Amino acid sequence: MRIFLTGASGLVGSAFARASARRGHTLTGIVGNFSGDVPGLSSRRPLDLTDESALSSALLDVFPDAIVNCAAVSEPATVDQDPARAQALNVALPAALARLAHHLSARLVHVSSEQVFDGTRSLPYTVADLPAPLNLYGRQKVASEQLVRALAPEFSAVVRAPLLMGNSPGGRRSLHERLLGDWTAGKTARLYLDEYRQPCTAENLAEVLLELCERPECRGTFHWAGADLISRHALGLALRSHFNLSPERAPIVAVRRTDQPEISKNRQACLALDLAPLLGVLKTRPQTLAEQLAELHVPPACQDWCLKS
């Protein structure tokens, strides 16, 4: 299969590149500013994805069977800093890709987020539940889902992903990479006792995206996540223990949402996702936390520091 991947240098895109290479697909990966290596790409193209005519030319040139959209401004705080740039990447880009997928009769797999929900209920959110985003990032993701569904209904699958673990090309993107980076810099991690997430690795999510490329009959909006719901604080403790770090070298302070009400009002208390109907359809299984931890590497920038522990 010929696949066109945006965000190839990101946490999810780079995992997708490795998974796609294992399955023998021909993968064209679009990168932005990242200059390092991205293993698994058949061809690599630097491109500013906010330039719609350059995007069209690149897509018409490749004429892919499938398009996978992993490019985004993927952090709520960064979205708030530059809403216009985030709108271009998080909303206008998926809409352009949906129009082009329709034009090329290509499969489109677009990554959305658990942050379309407000996180006020403890039951898992199903794909039938109505989105109620708390922040601009979540609102942009909702808009992207609506546009993708409207512009390429017969070709598209949207996957809402949870908090992601995994190994990124620059070693700074995923949860454990950030925590290790903070501890290496002498910082204390402040982690919520009462915010629950259902993390999965980018590698596991990439397998799902790849299966969806290969399964065009799966259309619409889907959920994916790991097998375990865990508080951010418990996750931090599990990561510290996994990397064999002492509490003195890798300090964690427990905080509660009521400690910082102004910040907490834009953060979801509990984001549990019901994985039906994908769970019954795909070969990929959600991973337990233990399985996820086993896949994590110490990023190069933290290796010397970790060895000293």
Ligand X SMILES: NC(=O)c1ccc[n+]([C@@H]2O[C@H](COP(=O)([O-])OP(=O)(O)OC[C@H]3O[C@@H](n4cnc5c(N)ncnc54)[C@H](OP(=O)(O)O)[C@@H]3O)[C@@H](O)[C@H]2O)c1
User: Applying CB under 6 A, which residues contact ligand X?
Assistant: 7-13, 30-34, 47-50, 70-72, 74, 89, 111, 113, 161, 163-164, 168, 173
Nearest to 37 by CA among 20, 55, 17: 17
Burial tier of 94 (Cβ tally within 10 Å: 0-12, 13-18, 19+):
buried
Place of tokens 């959110």: 125
**Rounded Cα distance, 131 and 142, in Å:** 7
Shortest distance (Å) from residue 263 CB to ligand X: 18
**Rounded Cα distance, 205 and 218, in Å:** 16
- 101 or 244: whose CB is closer to ligand X? 101
Residue closest to ligand X (Cβ): 10
- 111 or 151: whose CB is closer to ligand X? 111
* 8 Cβ contact list (under 8 Å, min separation 6): 14, 16, 17, 29, 30, 31, 38, 41, 44, 70
Shortest distance (Å) from residue 94 CB to ligand X: 9
Partners of residue 282 on adjacent β-strands: none
Shortest distance (Å) from residue 72 CB to ligand X: 3
- 30 or 218: whose CB is closer to ligand X? 30
- 197 or 240: whose CB is closer to ligand X? 197
Shortest distance (Å) from residue 244 CB to ligand X: 24
- 111 or 239: whose CB is closer to ligand X? 111
- 220 or 247: whose CB is closer to ligand X? 220
Listed in order, strand segments (DSSP E) in 71-113 are: 107-113
Shortest distance (Å) from residue 122 CB to ligand X: 20
First to last CA, the chain: 46
Shortest distance (Å) from residue 161 CB to ligand X: 4
Shortest distance (Å) from residue 137 CB to ligand X: 7
Tell how far CA 290 is from the center of its chain. Answer: 20
- 104 or 209: whose CB is closer to ligand X? 209
User: How many Cβ atoms from other residues are within 10 Å of residue 308's Cβ?
Assistant: 7
Supply φ then ψ for residue 201, to 5 degrees.
Answer: -85, 155
**Rounded Cα distance, 251 and 237, in Å:** 10
46 in Cβ contact with 108 (< 8 Å): no
The region, left, alpha or beta by phi > 0 then psi within -120 to 50, assigned to residue 186 is left
